[in-house]
């Protein structure tokens, strides 16, 4: 038996200052380290403007993938990162073909659009069709699925997937040479613990709640990322954007914030509600940097934060200032030490290695 993973490459080069590919690249590095062999595939990009063109491209991609995977043999195991970068309504057929050849297929979920949208009927017809053909059908075709956490596992069970094939990851690993225990970069110099970092896409269309940060008392927000627009809020300080591998060592603050949506009162809207089920990659970023975190009380990762004692939970950002002020130095230091412990695990690929072991038992 041999173990493979799809090393899928887009023909288009995206922004290197977006962390979107960091998680996928780290997965590949970890798989290399534990003995998986890559099936290296570059999907040529071709802009499609017609229905006929879309159908033709779908068939071409299916034949292309089938050719790339023909070298796999019975008893082999292949891991695919989900969703595939190359869209194809025939991907479920490809996976079923592999399983008919007695090849075990594991998906590692990064994103699920069906979980992001509470009501898909609001979406355009073509997008609803694509989600059904490329996601809903495809997710059911695998032997094993590495999902984010127990909340996502429960969601997938409710969708009819067998519990035996679902393996919770915990949190995403974050590979870096930065060691927070060997650095004093995050240490506060003025005795306060009120610097809260927000890292990621800072576009007001994506993170609407950023528009109201000025209403949050007792907190200094340190923002890192692309898409920032200066709204003149006195408690908001923009720190620039960095490459994903550099960012972890550039963060200056006391906590990292995991929040999303349209409001500072609660995590609302499609992006906010998505936190009920998924593991945001920025959680791993903050913990790898040795920073305790602030997360929404109803987020799926709140269970992890409480169990590992690596941060605090809030129902609204309006209560954050008071919670930070009431936090003792001893409690903060304990959370910081626990975050550094998690950092050692994420930098070693511990969470994915553990999930893979469970899937191969």
Q: What are phi and psi of 239, to 5 degrees?
A: -110, 5
- 291 shares its domain with 214: yes
Q: Decide if 257 is inside a domain.
A: yes
- 104 shares its domain with 253: no
Distance CA 330, CA 323 (A): 14
Show the domain range for 190. 180-346
Residues 260-281 pLDDT 10s: 999 999 999 888 999 999 999 9
Which residue pairs, CB below 8 angstroms and at least 24 apart, start in 6-9?
6/38, 6/39, 6/41, 6/78, 6/79, 6/80, 6/81, 6/84, 7/38, 7/39, 7/40, 7/41, 8/41, 8/43, 8/81, 8/84, 8/85, 8/86, 9/40, 9/41, 9/42, 9/43, 9/85
- 196 shares its domain with 114: no
The domain boundary residue, chosen from 120, 142, 164: 142
Q: Decide if 189 is inside a domain.
A: yes
Work out the number of other CB atoms within 10 angstroms of the CB of residue 338: 18
The domain boundary residue, chosen from 142, 163, 193: 142
The strand pairing partners of 258, in sequence order, are 295
- 233 shares its domain with 340: yes
Residue 296: alpha-carbon gap to chain centroid: 16
Q: Decide if 106 is inside a domain.
A: yes
- 321 shares its domain with 195: yes
Q: Decide if 52 is inside a domain.
A: yes
Task: Look at strands 3-10 and 37-43 and give their pairing.
Answer: parallel
Distance CA 48, CA 325 (A): 55
- 67 shares its domain with 115: yes
Cβ atoms of 272 and 116 within 8 Å: the answer is: no
- Give the tokens for residue 321: 């200032």
Q: Decide if 326 is inside a domain.
A: yes
Which of 40-44, 144-148, 184-188 is least confident?
A: 184-188
- Give the tokens for residue 225: 């990322």
pLDDT given for residue 77 in this prediction: 95
Task: Look at strands 104-109 and 77-82 and give their pairing.
Answer: parallel
- 204 shares its domain with 61: no
- 197 shares its domain with 66: no
CATH of the domain at 246: 3.40.50.2000
Alpha-helical regions (H) of the chain: 22-33, 51-68, 91-100, 113-116, 125-131, 137-139, 150-158, 244-250, 269-274, 281-288, 302-308, 320-326, 329-346, 350-360
Enumerate residues 6+ apart whose C-beta is below 8 A from 281. Answer: 19, 22, 23, 172, 174
- 124 shares its domain with 194: no
How many domains is the chain partitioned into structurally?
A: 2
Residues 213-256 pLDDT 10s: 999 999 999 999 999 999 999 999 999 999 989 999 999 999 99
- With bands split at pLDDT 50, 70 and 90, how would you rate the model's confidence at 137? confident
pLDDT given for residue 67 in this prediction: 86
- 132 shares its domain with 278: no
Q: Decide if 174 is inside a domain.
A: no
- 136 shares its domain with 223: no
Q: Decide if 328 is inside a domain.
A: yes
Residues 18-68 pLDDT 10s: 444 899 999 999 999 999 999 988 766 566 666 666 677 777 778 888 888
pTM of this prediction exceeds 0.95: no
- 232 shares its domain with 339: yes
Distance CA 195, CA 214 (A): 14
Q: Decide if 354 is inside a domain.
A: no
């Amino acid at each position: 038996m041999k173990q493979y993973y799809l090393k899928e490459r887009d023909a288009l080069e995206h922004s290197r200052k977006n962390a979107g590919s960091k998680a996928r690249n780290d997965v590949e590095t970890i798989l290399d380290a534990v003995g998986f062999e890559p099936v290296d595939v570059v999907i040529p990009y071709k802009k499609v403007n017609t229905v006929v063109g879309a159908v033709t491209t779908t068939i071409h991609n299916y034949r292309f993938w089938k050719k790339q995977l023909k070298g796999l043999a019975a008893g082999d195991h292949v891991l695919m990162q989900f969703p595939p970068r190359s869209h194809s309504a025939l991907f479920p057929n490809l996976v079923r073909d592999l399983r008919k050849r007695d090849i075990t297929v594991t998906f590692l979920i990064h994103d699920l659009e069906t979980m992001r949208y509470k009501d898909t009927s609001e979406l355009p017809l073509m997008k609803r069709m694509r989600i059904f053909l490329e996601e809903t059908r495809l997710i059911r075709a695998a032997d094993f699925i590495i999902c984010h956490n127990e909340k996502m596992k429960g969601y997938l069970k409710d969708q009819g997937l067998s519990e035996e094939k679902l393996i919770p990851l915990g949190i995403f690993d974050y590979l870096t040479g930065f060691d927070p225990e060997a650095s004093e970069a995050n240490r506060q110099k003025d005795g306060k613990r009120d610097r809260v970092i927000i890292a990621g896409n800072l576009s007001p269309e994506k993170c609407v709640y950023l528009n109201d940060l000025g209403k949050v008392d007792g907190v200094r927000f340190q923002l890192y990322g692309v898409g920032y627009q200066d709204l003149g809020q006195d408690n908001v300080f923009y720190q620039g954007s960095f490459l994903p591998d550099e960012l972890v060592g550039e963060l200056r603050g006391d906590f990292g914030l995991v929040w999303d949506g349209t409001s500072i009162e609660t995590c609302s809207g499609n992006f906010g509600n998505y936190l009920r089920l998924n593991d945001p990659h920025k959680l791993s970023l903050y913990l790898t940097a040795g920073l305790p975190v602030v997360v929404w009380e109803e987020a799926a990762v709140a269970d992890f934060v409480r169990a590992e004692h690596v941060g605090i939970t809030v129902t609204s950002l309006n209560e954050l200032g008071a919670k930070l002020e009431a936090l003792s130095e001893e409690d903060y230091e304990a959370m910081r030490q626990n975050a550094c412990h998690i950092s050692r695990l994420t930098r070693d690929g511990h969470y994915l290695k553990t999930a893979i072991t469970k899937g191969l038992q």
